[in-house]
């Protein structure tokens, strides 16, 4: 019997996160005046201890004991050899995945929600606001806040709120309050409703509401939290890749290929950055962020300065972007429907250290079904994008007759996404494409912004 899972004890967990800012050169975020944003300018939005992490260039940052305590509810996560997937694909490749679906909300998101809640708590904050699209992030932050006795308020895009009522309930079980956005609770929400009472909402509107709710609390006890894109979010997620490295080392393996799906970039970054470090130091390794063909920020969007939100409230970030007003096709992998990409991930693509891939919706679900019928676990729609690329690489390994070692991040389970599988199985899903017209139109959003420099880290 071949081994499936590589076990780590809680004592063997990483005690530090890896900060890639120590190893790559980055363009700074810019304020409305075109000048670099100072930490103080972010203070009304985030607690200063997280802002310090956002700009830190320390390579290793210690994980606080209180965060370790909560991580251990589900971490270390299993590293699994996908023996049955290998059989199903008849490949000489050895395929390993990190199962991040074992966390209480069912995804990798609490890896950063927990430390963000902790740092807010330590800073004296009582209440955190955020937005959520499909609901994974709002669930994770509600869970994390319940662990530290913080209030959590989630503005959920109204159409998702109505389509996915279970996500709101999940937040409620952990004591989080979830309201559909646009809401009457903020000026931003009321303005939208005044113009269009039936607005389905958008991530841009929900971000505006959450930020407004945080900065307008005159007690100073409320802050805002973001679940991807930012440097400190990528930092916290590196616990995935660091664990994976330890687990692979235990069995004498090292990956030839590392794969993760990418929306804002955090689960990919968390898995890949510890291996990027090795690559920057000369190791041969292929590293692929995988995005949906319908929202191809890395493979079709240029490297520019653009806003992180639709409304233009955030600083200008140096990233691959489709334009901050771009509205992606309604694919069911809601977590991958983001116009931009984390600046760190964008920088690495731009330098050629990692290579972005795009897959279609139908090939993603097809791979998801292959996975569920071999390895058992049902992946989230986002995760199926990573699996689709794994399937391609495993077949390539077979063609080449090579025993490649593939590592990918199984970022979450699909138990709350079965409605999307139902549509796939019923043949009701299609392959939305990103057209040349869309590309040209979307690019108008950043046409007049400053351009980032082309930096080379090594």
Q: Least separation, in Å, of the C-beta of 173 and a second copy? A: 5
Q: Is 377 in the site for a second copy (CB under 8 A)?
A: yes
Task: Tell me the β-bridge partners of 153.
Answer: 129, 177
Tell me the torsion sign for CA atoms 411, 59, 451, 306. positive
Q: Is 102 in the site for a second copy (CB under 8 A)?
A: yes
Q: Is 174 in the site for a second copy (CB under 8 A)?
A: yes
Q: Least separation, in Å, of the C-beta of 447 and a second copy? A: 44
Nearest in space to 92 (alpha carbons), one of 399, 343, 347, 339: 399
Neighbouring CB atoms inside 10 A of 454's CB total 10
Measured between alpha carbons, how far is residue 84 from residues 99, 116, 248, 372, 389 in Å? 15, 37, 19, 10, 17
Per-residue DSSP letter, 203 = H
Pair 210, 155: CB distance under 8 Å: yes
| CA-based radius of gyration for the chain | 21
Nearest in space to 22 (alpha carbons), one of 315, 231, 200: 231
Window of 237-245, 352-360, 391-399, 412-420 that interacts with a second copy by CB under 8 A: 412-420
Task: Tell me the β-bridge partners of 258.
Answer: 287, 407
- x/- track of binding to a second copy for residues 151-170 (CB under 8 A): --------------xx--xx
- Cβ-based neighbours of 69, under 8 Å, separated by 6 or more: none
Q: Is 362 in the site for a second copy (CB under 8 A)?
A: no
Helix pair angle (110-122, 48-55), 10° resolution: 130
- x/- track of binding to a second copy for residues 128-147 (CB under 8 A): ---------------x--xx
Total residues at interface with a second copy (CB under 8 A): 46
Per-residue DSSP letter, 29 = P
Q: Is 15 in the site for a second copy (CB under 8 A)?
A: no
- ∠ CA 7-8-9, nearest 5°, is 120
Which residue's CB is nearer to a second copy, number 2 or number 447? 2
Which residue's CB is nearer to a second copy, number 11 or number 33? 11
Pull the structure tokens for residue 227.
Answer: 């679940």
Q: Is 68 in the site for a second copy (CB under 8 A)?
A: yes
Q: Is 415 in the site for a second copy (CB under 8 A)?
A: yes
Q: Is 429 in the site for a second copy (CB under 8 A)?
A: no
Nearest in space to 267 (alpha carbons), one of 45, 441, 99, 425: 99
Indicate which single residue of 100, 306, 309, 375 sits in contact with a second copy (rule: CB under 8 A). 375
Indicate which single residue of 65, 90, 198, 428 sits in contact with a second copy (rule: CB under 8 A). 65
Q: Is 100 in the site for a second copy (CB under 8 A)?
A: no
Q: Least separation, in Å, of the C-beta of 86 and a second copy? A: 13
Pair 245, 275: CB distance under 8 Å: yes
Which residue's CB is nearer to a second copy, number 418 or number 454? 418
Q: Is 418 in the site for a second copy (CB under 8 A)?
A: yes
Nearest in space to 206 (alpha carbons), one of 152, 159, 155, 154: 155
Pair 330, 428: CB distance under 8 Å: no
Q: Least separation, in Å, of the C-beta of 161 and a second copy? A: 13
Q: Is 422 in the site for a second copy (CB under 8 A)?
A: yes
Q: Is 9 in the site for a second copy (CB under 8 A)?
A: yes
Q: Is 5 in the site for a second copy (CB under 8 A)?
A: yes
Indicate which single residue of 119, 326, 421, 434 sits in contact with a second copy (rule: CB under 8 A). 421
Q: Is 172 in the site for a second copy (CB under 8 A)?
A: yes
Task: Tell me the β-bridge partners of 16.
Answer: 62
Which residue's CB is nearer to a second copy, number 173 or number 433? 173
Nearest in space to 127 (alpha carbons), one of 216, 57, 191: 216
Whole-angstrom Cα distance, residue 368 to residue 386?
Answer: 9
Which residue's CB is nearer to a second copy, number 3 or number 433? 3
Q: Is 112 in the site for a second copy (CB under 8 A)?
A: no
- State the residues that interact with a second copy by CB under 8 A: 1, 3-5, 7-10, 65, 68-70, 72-74, 84, 102-104, 106, 143, 146-147, 165-166, 169-170, 172-175, 369, 372-373, 375-378, 413, 415-416, 418-419, 421-422, 425
């Amino acid at each position: 019997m071949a081994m499936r899972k590589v076990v780590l004890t809680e004592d063997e967990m990483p005690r530090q996160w890896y900060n890639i800012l120590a190893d790559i050169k980055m363009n700074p975020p810019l304020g409305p005046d075109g000048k670099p944003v100072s930490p103080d300018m972010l203070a009304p939005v985030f607690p200063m201890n997280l802002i310090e992490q956002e700009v830190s260039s320390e390579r290793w940052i210690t994980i606080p004991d209180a965060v370790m305590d909560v991580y251990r509810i589900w971490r270390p996560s299993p590293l699994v050899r996908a023996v049955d997937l290998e059989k199903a694909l008849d490949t000489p490749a050895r395929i390993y995945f990190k199962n991040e679906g074992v966390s209480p909300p069912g995804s990798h998101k609490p890896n950063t929600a927990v430390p963000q809640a902790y740092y807010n708590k330590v800073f004296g904050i009582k209440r955190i606001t955020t937005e959520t699209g499909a609901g994974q992030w709002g669930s994770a932050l509600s869970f994390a806040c319940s662990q530290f006795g913080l209030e959590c308020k989630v503005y959920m895009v109204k159409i998702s709120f109505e389509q996915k009522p279970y996500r709101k309930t999940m937040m409620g079980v952990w004591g989080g309050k979830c309201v559909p956005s646009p809401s009457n609770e903020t000026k931003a929400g009321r303005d939208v409703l005044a113009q269009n009472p039936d607005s389905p909402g958008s991530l841009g509107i929900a971000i505006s509401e959450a930020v407004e709710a945080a900065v307008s609390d005159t007690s100073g006890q409320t802050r805002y939290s973001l679940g991807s894109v930012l440097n400190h979010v990528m930092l916290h997620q590196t616990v995935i890749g660091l664990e994976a490295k330890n687990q692979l080392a235990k069995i004498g393996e090292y990956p030839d290929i590392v794969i993760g799906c990418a929306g804002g970039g955090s689960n990919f970054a968390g898995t890949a950055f510890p291996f990027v470090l090795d690559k920057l130091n000369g190791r041969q390794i292929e590293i692929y962020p995988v995005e949906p063909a319908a929202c191809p920020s890395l493979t079709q969007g240029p490297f520019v300065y653009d806003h992180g939100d639709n409304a233009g409230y955030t600083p200008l970030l140096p990233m691959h972007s489709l334009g901050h007003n771009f509205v992606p096709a309604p694919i069911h992998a809601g977590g991958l429907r983001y116009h931009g990409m984390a600046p760190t991930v964008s920088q690495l693509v731009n330098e050629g250290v990692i290579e972005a891939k795009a897959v279609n919706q139908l090939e993603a679900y097809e791979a998801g079904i292959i996975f569920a019928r071999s390895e058992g676990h049902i992946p989230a729609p986002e995760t199926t994008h990573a699996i689709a690329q794994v399937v391609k690489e495993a077949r390539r390994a077979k063609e080449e007759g090579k025993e490649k070692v593939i590592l990918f991040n199984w970022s979450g389970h699909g138990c709350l996404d079965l409605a999307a599988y139902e549509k796939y199985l019923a043949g009701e899903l299609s392959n939305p494409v990103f057209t040349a017209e869309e590309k040209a139109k979307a690019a108008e959003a950043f046409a007049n912004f400053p351009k980032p420099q082309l930096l080379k880290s090594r």
